[in-house]
């Protein structure tokens, strides 16, 4: 994988805590570097300025740049989950300690970053060649917060 492009996430002061949290939730992840503010920023001296980290081998940087910019739903991380246990793991971890659930597999973590927790089976079910089956699957999905792939399959097969 090329390291030419890295996603930078802007935080007020919690970038180091966020990076550590994300690395604890996502397998194959680690913090790779922390640079700290020096004396030229006395109000932030010694605190993390940037935190380089990898999530499942992909590079990211958390920048503690101040309160000017907040996350919104126009950018989200999408996690492809092989089974319901994986969906449940990410959902529970990312909504813990102040995260909030939204609809259709979307959530915000405790830092305000949006995530989509998506079972890999979902796209096949909602785009089934049988339009009635696809409609039933889509209707079931639209009524959910956390995706329950078994319930969607059951709805799709209910016709």
**Residue in 113, 123, 104 with CA at minimum distance from that of residue 26:** 113
For residue 3, the model assigns a pLDDT of: 67
Map residue 66 onto helix, strand or coil.
coil
% of the chain surpassing 70 pLDDT: 98
Tokens coding 87: 């969906």
| 1-69 and 71-159 agree in CATH topology | yes
User: Among 3.90.228.20, 3.20.20.80, 3.10.180.10, 2.60.40.60, what is the CATH number of 71-159?
Assistant: 3.10.180.10
For the stretch 76-131, pLDDT in tens is: 999 999 999 999 999 999 999 999 999 999 999 999 999 999 999 999 999 999 99
User: So what's the architecture of 1-69 in CATH?
Assistant: Roll (3.10)
pLDDT band at 1 (very low <50, low <70, confident <90, very high): low
Mean pLDDT of the chain: 96
What is the C-alpha to C-alpha distance for residues 22 and 54, in angstroms, rounded to an integer? 9
For the stretch 136-157, pLDDT in tens is: 999 999 999 999 999 999 999 9
Burial, 2: exposed, middle or buried (Cβ in 10 Å; 0-12, 13-18, 19+)? exposed
Q: Can you give the residue ranges of every domain in the chain? A: 1-69, 71-159
DSSP letter string over 17-75? HHHHHHHHHSSS-EEEEEEE--TTSTTTTTSEEEEEEEETTEEEEEEE--TT----TTS
Q: Which residues pair with 64 in a beta bridge?
A: 11
pTM (2 decimals)? 0.92
């Amino acid at each position: 994988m090329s390291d030419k492009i890295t996603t930078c996430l802007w935080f007020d002061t919690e970038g180091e805590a966020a990076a550590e949290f994300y690395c604890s939730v996502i397998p194959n992840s680690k913090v790779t570097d922390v640079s700290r503010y020096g004396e030229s920023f006395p109000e932030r001296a010694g605190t993390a300025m940037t935190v380089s980290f990898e999530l499942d081998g992909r590079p990211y940087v958390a920048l503690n740049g101040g309160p000017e910019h907040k996350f919104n739903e126009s950018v989200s991380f999408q996690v492809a989950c092989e089974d319901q246990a994986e969906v449940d793991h990410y959902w529970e971890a990312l909504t813990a300690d102040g995260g909030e659930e939204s609809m259709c597999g979307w959530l915000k973590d405790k830092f305000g970053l949006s995530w989509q927790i998506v079972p890999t089976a979902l796209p096949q079910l909602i785009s089934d060649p049988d339009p009635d089956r696809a409609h039933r699957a889509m209707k079931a999905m639209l009524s959910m917060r956390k995706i329950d792939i078994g319930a969607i399959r059951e709805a799709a097969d209910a016709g």
